[in-house]
């Protein structure tokens, strides 16, 4: 079976790191590059974390290109409350020797797309700043993009506030450009990612693997889990970003709904909300998104555990 060519765009981040752990060992993926964006932490930190994760897990041949350091328009927000000062909780990785690619993220993605004979899937798991700049600056490149499988948004509400999910809230104008671009979207938003949870018992299983991946994940998730434990309905923590990779390597675990997805940048209380239209009588010509709505949690955890064992 031929591999799926992808470029992953991350703001690493604890759950971004877990998405990478899943992706870097996946036989089904041909990772043509990884690009970084500011989001969970500053661009310096998300890039450092990405380089460190990629090298630690033995894939330093994959180029890492540094991207946007701030949102297009709105003031920057970061998520140290969820990912800590470093962006990886209390986990500390050896400092990677490899430096970022000489190209910036947007130029890097453009070059890889232009040089590719086949279409490539973009997988953003942070704010959509790099992707929006790419699509605006080089619209001709759209026909080289197979689809954009993104973590962001939520048809039924937010996490940063009642309406908005963090990645969209961090750069809503960029998200609007991407959602209106005409490129096919697969939206792994909160509807599915809040169901993609790992429990403290799952983390015990991962730690018990006793290798570098198990140790790293168990350490990094501890900080993240602590935030989730403040939720009175706590059952586990959501590994949002890993759902994008799961969609690509094990799509049978995920349920989707076809619809029209847009980003509101004009509302007051709904600023940065993703509005999803599933009405049966909508104008289906305007459908632009497969919205992921459910996941087989047990199988998802198993996928993560098996991925860790491969290191
Ligand atoms: C998203 O926000 C970030 O904090 C996570 O890495 C994930 O991409 C979830 O809302
Ligand atoms: Ca992220």
pLDDT at site 57: 98
Instruction: Quote the ligand 1 centre to 218 CA distance (angstroms).
Output: 18
Question: For 112-170, how does the pLDDT look when each residue is reduced to its tens digit (9 = 90+)?
Answer: 999 999 999 999 999 999 999 999 999 999 999 999 999 999 999 999 999 999 999 99
Instruction: Quote the ligand 2 centre to 11 CA distance (angstroms).
Output: 5
Mean local confidence (pLDDT), 15-41: 98
What CATH code is carried by the domain that includes residue 238? 3.90.245.10
Contacts of 214 (CB under 8 A, 6+ apart): 206, 207, 208, 308
Residue 286 — very low, low, confident or very high, per pLDDT cuts 50/70/90?
very high
Residue 140 falls in the annotated catalytic set: no
pLDDT at site 1: 73
Ligand 1 pocket, 16 CB below 6 A?
A: yes
pLDDT at site 167: 98
pLDDT at site 209: 97
Instruction: Quote the ligand 2 centre to 140 CA distance (angstroms).
Output: 27
- Contact between 36 and 60 under an 8 Å Cβ cutoff? The reply is no
195 is in which domain, residue-wise? 4-309
Strands of 120-124's sheet, edge to edge? Answer: 64-65, 29-36, 4-10, 120-124, 145-151, 185-188, 289-295, 254-263, 274-277
pLDDT at site 285: 98
pTM score: 0.98
pLDDT at site 150: 99
What's the chain's average pLDDT?
97
The two beta strands, 120-124 and 254-263, are unpaired
List 122's β-bridge partners, or say none. 7, 148
Among 164, 191, 302, 159, smallest CA distance to 255 is for 191
Q: Which atom of ligand 1 lies at the shortest distance from residue 160's CA?
A: 10
Mean local confidence (pLDDT), 215-220: 96
pLDDT at site 12: 98
Ligand 1 pocket, 104 CB below 6 A?
A: no
Q: Which atom of ligand 1 lies at the shortest distance from residue 151's CA?
A: 8
- How many independent structural domains does the chain possess? 1
Question: For 76-107, how does the pLDDT look when each residue is reduced to its tens digit (9 = 90+)?
Answer: 999 999 999 999 999 999 999 999 999 999 99
Nearest residue (CA) to ligand 1, atom 2: 166
pLDDT at site 172: 98
Which ligand is the nearest neighbour of the Cα of 167? 1
Q: What are the E-state strand segments in the chain?
A: 4-10, 29-36, 64-65, 120-124, 145-151, 185-188, 197-198, 237-238, 254-263, 274-277, 289-295
pLDDT at site 235: 92
* pLDDT reading at 203 higher than 80: yes
Question: For 231-256, how does the pLDDT look when each residue is reduced to its tens digit (9 = 90+)?
Answer: 999 999 999 999 999 999 999 999 99
* pLDDT reading at 308 higher than 90: yes
């Amino acid at each position: 079976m031929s591999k799926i060519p992808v470029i992953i765009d991350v703001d690493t981040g604890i759950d971004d790191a877990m998405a990478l752990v899943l992706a870097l060992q996946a036989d089904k993926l041909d990772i043509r590059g990884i690009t970084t964006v500011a989001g969970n932490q500053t661009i310096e930190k998300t890039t450092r974390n990405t380089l460190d994760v990629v090298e630690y897990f033995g894939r330093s041949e994959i180029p890492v290109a540094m991207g946007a350091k701030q949102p297009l328009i709105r003031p920057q927000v970061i998520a140290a409350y969820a990912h800590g000062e470093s962006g990886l909780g209390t986990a500390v990785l050896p400092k990677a020797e490899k430096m970022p690619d000489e190209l910036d993220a947007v130029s890097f993605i453009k070059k890889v797309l232009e040089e590719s004979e086949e279409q490539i899937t973009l997988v953003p798991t942070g704010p959509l700043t790099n992707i929006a700049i790419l699509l605006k600056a080089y619209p001709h490149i759209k026909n080289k993009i197979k689809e954009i499988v993104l973590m962001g948004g939520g048809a039924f509400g937010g996490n940063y506030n009642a309406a908005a999910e963090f990645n969209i809230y961090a750069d809503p104008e960029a998200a609007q450009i991407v959602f209106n671009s005409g490129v096919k979207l697969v939206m792994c938003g909160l509807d599915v990612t809040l169901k993609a949870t790992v429990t403290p018992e799952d983390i015990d299983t991962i730690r018990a693997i006793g290798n570098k991946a198990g140790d790293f994940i168990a350490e990094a998730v501890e900080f993240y889990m602590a935030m989730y434990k403040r939720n009175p309905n706590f059952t586990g923590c959501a590994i949002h970003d890993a759902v994008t990779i799961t969609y690509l390597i094990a799509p049978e675990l995920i349920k989707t709904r076809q619809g029209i997805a847009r980003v509101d940048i004009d509302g007051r209380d709904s600023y940065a909300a993703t509005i999803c239209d599933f009405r049966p009588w909508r104008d289906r010509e305007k459908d632009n998104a497969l919205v992921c709505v459910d996941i087989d949690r047990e199988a998802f955890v198993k996928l993560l555990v098996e991925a860790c064992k491969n290191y």
